[in-house]
């Protein structure tokens, strides 16, 4: 499937240039205070700058040389700048995507239909919610709305990136249209469903720009936790100064600030916003509009997933696969009756019956029935057929409908036919009964085709700890068969809209988070009730308003991808938080011995890295603390590779990689930097 152009390269020249410029703009304390960890680093940088200027004119042996303090100041400044750059780069990628979308959004003329029926040409910006406009072949749809009259083929590639046109029509669950898409054939009347500035394009632009992004509850909670760590290490650092005086070891301000900056979680503090923005970016690249970052996060914690059978687990259209004649008439006659009873059935199932009849070498001459009355299939009657002027009456429909028909004629369903019906249902098929002149004649078998690879995808979800539930209107026997074949954990048979709602409520009462996808007005209550409700863009306005995500591709299996995106976001944030906190161990062993080793030689045992000098140790730790942020930017933006493992296995794996790795990497990095500093004779 073709998608719209997305920003894929992390370090594009123009994006990097813009991000660098924004990095300096973000140094404004009013902006920095939103990130408490980096804000205190900025304060520390300012203090070091003042101290460096002071030492230029009033040297102090205790505080160290002017050059040493200036180097510390510059490194602290770079630490803040790198953190700003990570966030600015994530925002720049979003702005680039937003600019692409803005080119799609343009002022277009719209033929508004006035209450008196008059048609007036206005610009799309003048349309209000509740207005009705007409759109014909070749015209752009002016704004988001719902088709209230007509059917049309529509090119949605400007929004979804999908080149194949789609059919949208009034009265069903695929009546929604999006501004900026183009009508290819026919004409439609559209009811405007959004106010100015609230269209999907507007929402997409707002979401991907990132600068106005609202922090999620998890992100806020982590920010508070990191602030707590910062306050704790501030107390630890401040108390070291009197300890130093007691030990006759005056500690330089540069050393205290360096220790403080190195111990607080600057790595995750600098990358936290970038991780959140990148998570929203990944959702958009999957053609998903999340109304908030919270919805993406919640998807990562989902316990139960409700999926419609049709179009999700199965291909969508059932096909006729067999004819069962129970009347004793010639098979060719029975097949012919099956075919002519389906002529007025415009559903895919009805068409497949005629195709199967042709494969059985049964040809139908429509001229033979030109004076006859065809009975069209409707959802209400659940039956189609033909009444011939020659006295022939043929009906095809659901088993219950045909049973009622034959019973009204004083007949009954033969035991042989009933057995065939039960066998078809138990094997996952759908039986349709055929009656000729009021008597049961036989059965047509319809089969659902399960999508290739769907079993593997459900197995992947199972490994994630997600329970899958199939929702279908089929009878319990059919539903059980398909559920077993597809590999889902549970199913809801003969499902009505309220059944979905009740199942979701029951799961939530037991403390579980539930996700589901829907496109119709009847899905709206369940979408609103679900913790993650994904509505299809082609669906009704009620469904799109009820859900907290919208799938632009109208792909029912997208729920599986949504869960993986959410989990990747949570894992990335957790992994980098673990790595950041683990870093402190190595930096502690680098700086603390350096502070006291001169007066307390016994602390040499803690200098396990064998760093050259106290000044070199402090400088090495501060440099490592700064450069690790840009090194981890690609990981923050792309996300940690997600593998469908159980919670315990995943925790153990991440603790090993990012916990233990977070301890080992700084030991190696600081030692290498120390060797380089010594070689260059910087201190």
Q: 203 and 194 in contact (C-beta within 8 Å)?
A: no
Nearest CA-CA partner of 240 in 582, 594, 581, 583: 594
The C-alpha R_g of the chain, in whole angstroms, comes to: 34
Helix (H), strand (E), coil (C) string for 403-431? HHHHHHCCCCCCHHHHHHHHHHHHCCEEE
How far is the C-alpha of 473 from the C-alpha of 487, rounded, in Å?
A: 18
How far is the C-alpha of 453 from the C-alpha of 358, rounded, in Å?
A: 31
- Is 308 catalytic? The answer is yes
For 347-471, where are the E strands, in sequence order?
A: 373-375, 383-387, 393-398, 429-436, 439-447, 467-471
How far is the C-alpha of 515 from the C-alpha of 513, rounded, in Å?
A: 7
Contacts 24+ apart (CB under 8 A), 674-682: 674/609, 674/611, 674/612, 674/616, 674/617, 674/620, 675/612, 677/612, 677/616, 677/619, 677/620, 678/612, 678/616, 682/71, 682/616, 682/619
Strand partners of residue 490: 469
Classify residue 203 as exposed, middle or buried by CB count within 10 Å of its CB (0-12, 13-18, 19+): middle
Alpha helices in 510-613 (DSSP H): 524-529, 541-546, 558-596
Q: 639 and 278 in contact (C-beta within 8 Å)?
A: yes
Structure tokens, 121: 């040409």
What's the chain's length in residues? 683
Structure tokens, 81: 């700048």
Give the pairing type, strands 166-169 and 109-113. Answer: unpaired
Contacts 24+ apart (CB under 8 A), 453-461: 454/313, 454/486, 454/487, 454/557, 455/486, 455/487, 457/557, 457/560, 458/486, 458/487, 458/488, 459/487, 460/560, 460/644, 461/305, 461/560, 461/563, 461/644
Residue carrying the six token digits 């929702």 = 471
Q: Given 131, 144, 301, 308, which residue is catalytic? A: 308
Q: Diameter of the chain by CA atoms? A: 118
Would you tell me how many other CB atoms lie within 10 Å of the CB of residue 338?
28
Exposure b/e, 76-115, CB count within 10 A at least 16 = b: bbbbbbbbbbbbbbbbbbbbbbbeebeebbeebebbbbee
How far is the C-alpha of 430 from the C-alpha of 421, rounded, in Å?
A: 8
Nearest CA-CA partner of 83 in 209, 278, 269, 226: 269
How far is the C-alpha of 547 from the C-alpha of 523, rounded, in Å?
A: 9
How far is the C-alpha of 334 from the C-alpha of 317, rounded, in Å?
A: 24
Residue carrying the six token digits 């009462």 = 509
Query: Would you name the residues annotated as active-site residues?
Result: 308
């Amino acid at each position: 499937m073709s998608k719209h152009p997305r920003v894929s390269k992390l370090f594009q020249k123009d994006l990097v240039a813009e991000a660098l410029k924004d990095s300096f703009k973000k140094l404004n304390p009013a902006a920095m205070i939103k990130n408490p960890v980096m804000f205190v680093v900025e304060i520390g940088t300012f203090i070091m700058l003042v101290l460096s200027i002071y030492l230029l004119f009033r040297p102090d042996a205790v505080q160290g040389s002017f050059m040493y303090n200036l180097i510390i100041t510059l490194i602290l400044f770079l630490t803040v700048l790198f953190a700003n750059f990570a966030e600015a780069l994530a925002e720049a990628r979003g702005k680039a995507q937003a600019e692409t979308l803005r080119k799609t959004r343009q002022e277009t003329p719209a033929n508004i239909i006035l209450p008196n029926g008059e048609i007036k040409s206005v610009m799309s910006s003048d349309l209000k919610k509740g207005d009705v406009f007409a759109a014909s072949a070749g015209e752009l749809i002016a704004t988001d709305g719902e088709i209230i009259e007509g059917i049309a083929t529509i090119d949605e590639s400007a929004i979804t990136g999908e080149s194949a046109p789609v059919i949208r029509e009034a009265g069903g669950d695929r009546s929604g249209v999006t501004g900026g898409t183009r009508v290819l054939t026919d004409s439609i009347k559209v009811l405007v469903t959004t106010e100015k500035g609230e269209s999907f394009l507007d929402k997409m632009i707002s979401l991907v720009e990132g600068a106005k992004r609202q922090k999620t509850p998890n992100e806020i909670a982590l920010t508070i936790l990191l602030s707590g760590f910062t306050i704790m290490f501030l107390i630890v650092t401040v108390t070291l100064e009197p300890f130093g005086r007691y030990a006759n070891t005056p500690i330089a301000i540069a050393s205290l600030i360096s220790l403080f900056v190195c111990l607080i979680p600057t790595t995750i503090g600098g990358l936290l916003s970038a991780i959140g923005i990148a998570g929203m970016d990944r959702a958009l690249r999957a053609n998903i509009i999340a109304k908030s970052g919270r919805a993406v996060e919640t998807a990562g914690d989902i316990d139960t997933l409700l999926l419609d059978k049709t179009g999700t687990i199965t291909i969508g259209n059932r096909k006729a696969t067999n004819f069962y004649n129970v009347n004793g008439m010639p098979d060719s006659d029975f097949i012919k009756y099956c075919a002519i009873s389906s002529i007025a059935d415009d559903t895919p199932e009805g068409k497949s019956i005629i195709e199967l009849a042709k494969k059985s070498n049964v040809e139908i001459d429509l001229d033979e029935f030109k004076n006859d009355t065809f009975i069209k299939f409707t959802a209400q009657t659940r039956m189609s057929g033909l009444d011939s002027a020659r006295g022939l009456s043929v009906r095809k429909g659901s088993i219950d409908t045909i049973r009622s028909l034959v019973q009204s004629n004083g007949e009954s369903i033969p035991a042989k036919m009933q057995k065939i019906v039960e066998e078809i249902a138990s094997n996952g098929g759908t039986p349709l009964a055929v009656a000729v002149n009021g008597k049961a004649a036989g059965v047509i078998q319809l089969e659902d085709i399960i999508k290739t690879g769907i079993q593997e995808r459900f197995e992947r979800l199972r490994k994630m700890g997600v329970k899958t539930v199939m929702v279908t209107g089929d009878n319990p026997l059919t539903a059980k068969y398909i559920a077993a074949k597809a590999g889902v954990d549970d199913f809801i048979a003969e499902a009505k809209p309220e059944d979905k709602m009740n199942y979701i409520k029951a799961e939530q009462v037991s403390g579980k988070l539930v996700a589901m996808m829907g496109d119709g007005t009847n899905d709206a209550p369940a979408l609103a009730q679900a913790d993650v409700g994904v509505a299809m863009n082609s669906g009704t306005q009620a469904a799109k308003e009820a859900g907290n995500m919208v799938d632009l591709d109208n792909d029912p299996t997208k729920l599986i991808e949504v869960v993986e995106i959410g989990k990747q976001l949570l894992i990335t944030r957790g992994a980098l938080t673990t790595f950041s906190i683990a870093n402190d161990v190595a930096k502690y062993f680098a700086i603390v011995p350096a502070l006291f080793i001169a007066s307390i030689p016994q602390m040499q045992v803690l200098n396990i890295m064998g760093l050259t000098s106290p000044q070199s140790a402090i400088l090495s730790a501060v440099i490592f603390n700064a450069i690790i942020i840009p090194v981890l930017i690609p990981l923050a933006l792309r996300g940690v590779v997600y593998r469908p493992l159980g919670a315990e296995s995943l925790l153990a794996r991440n603790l090993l990689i990012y916990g233990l790795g977070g301890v080992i990497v700084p030991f190696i990095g600081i030692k290498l930097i120390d060797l380089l500093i010594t070689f260059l004779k910087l201190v």
